[in-house]
Amino acid sequence: MRFPSMTALRALDAVARLGSVSDAASELNLTPSAISHQIKSLEQTLGFALTERIGRGIRITYQGERYARDIHQLLANILEAGQRFDGQQVTGRLCISSPAGFATYWLCPHIAAFQDLYPQVELHLISPRTPGDTSDSNADLFIAYGLGDWPNQHVQQIVTLRFFPVCSPRLVNALGGLKSPQELDGCPLLHMIDYSDWRVWLAAADASNVDVRNGIVFSDAHFVQSACIAGQGIAIGDNLISGEALARGLLIRPFETEIESNRGYYLVADQQKAERPVVQAFSEWVKAQLSTPTRTRTDVRRTLKT
């Protein structure tokens, strides 16, 4: 006899517990006809009847009740086994490649919480050559910045970014204040990778007159923000990387306008490596952490001396 399908076993268990096909269908998010089909398929596999028709409905047979009790215990054991899969059982080496900006401003301040949950994991953090590079064969999992286009890889977006200009209070004071985005023309602008972020934001702010090529291009958000905090120019910040600096007053937002970026941070892994329990554990931990509200305090505005 071949092994019965798990879906069919769950269908029988739900009907036996709930007493009706419709209630079982609702619990399992299936149609009533699908539940009936699964039970009929299970009967063919087992070679005996599990249900019998009563009027317009069905009921579990005596044999079906005995079998359903055994199946319910089996499913409970499977669920319990999954619940025992805690941090003590997630082991092995995990090498994570993360852009310096994400690592500095989010991952490094939080990584001890993951290690506390999974103390038997041998954790290694490395940086890629560029924020979107996923070519290092030593890495088990990449936190990559880009548009999400990594072919033949397992890709999950972990945060959507909102972009807005940020600068140091000292620089704004030195410039005599910034009353409108049009006044950015001639100001030192800081760029990450290319000029696209500033170009898109300036278009949204109706300030296309500003020359976006005025400034320095950096390869990583860490470099951009460090230069920005040091008063070297005005940068495009975001709700993740800039959050702590905004909260501490190291950076301010001179303008209200913000845009949703078409770029973001993604978890990227080789299809085989993505199945490893330690990779799945870290992936779920990161997504859970980033699902909470980001600490940006963007509603706070500081008064500047001009």
Is there a single domain that holds both residue 155 and residue 165? no
Residue 133 vs residue 291, higher pLDDT? 133
Q: Check whether residue 168 and residue 253 sit in a common domain.
A: yes
Same domain, 165 and 242: yes
Give the model confidence (pLDDT) of 203-224 as tens digits: 999 988 888 888 899 988 889 9
The angle formed by the CA atoms of residues 105, 109 and 114, to the nearest 5 degrees, is 125
Strand partners, 272: none
Rg of the Cα atoms in the chain: 28
DSSP E strands: which ranges in 167-271? 189-192, 215-218, 234-238, 259-269
Buried b (16+ CB within 10 A) or exposed e, 63-85: ebeebbeebbeebeeeeeeeeee
User: Does a structural domain hold residue 119?
Assistant: yes
pLDDT range class, residue 59, cuts 50, 70, 90: confident
105 found inside a domain: yes
Q: What is the pLDDT of residues 246-287, one digit of tens each?
A: 888 999 999 988 888 888 899 999 988 998 999 999 999 998
The span from the CA of 247 to the CA of 298, in Å, is: 8
Q: Which of 58, 83, 108 is the last residue of a domain?
A: 83
* 220-233 average pLDDT score: 91
* Domain span holding position 121: 88-159+264-290
Same domain membership, residue 129 and residue 275: yes
Percent over 70 (pLDDT), the chain: 91
Total tally of structural domains belonging to the chain: 3
